[in-house]
Structure 1
Amino acid sequence: MSKKEKLISLVVLVCLVLLVTVIGYQKYHENIRPTKESSPASTVETEPISSQKE
């Protein structure tokens, strides 16, 4: 019984860790993607605008 209980608790722990890592990974990617996409876009947009003003 103790071995089965240990195995069950271990499986539950692994599942929880996987869930947390997946959720954290998705949130991390959601936060990083827009910043990575917006920063090159903003630099590309500002360059032609500044050259047009000159």
Structure 2
Amino acid sequence: MVQIITTDRIVFSVMVRKSRSSYFFHDVMFNMIQSLLLTNKSLLLFFYKCSLTFRLIHFY
């Protein structure tokens, strides 16, 4: 589990899955899209902050 923190300080706890050389957020995008009211063409940037924490910056 990791935490994704938005610029509005909303925190999402997310399961991360590893596939060979990549990591994937699991079962979070739908909740995040609904909570943040993201549009179809929103840009999401995930910055790794520290152990088990990511900062999410989104653009509309």
TM-score band w.r.t. shorter chain: under 0.3
Higher relative contact order (CA 8 A, sep 6+): 2
Q: TM-score, normalised by structure 2?
A: 0.22
Identify, as 1 or 2, the structure richer in helix: 1
- Bigger-Rg structure (1/2): 1
Q: TM-score, normalised by structure 1?
A: 0.23
Identify, as 1 or 2, the structure richer in strand: 2
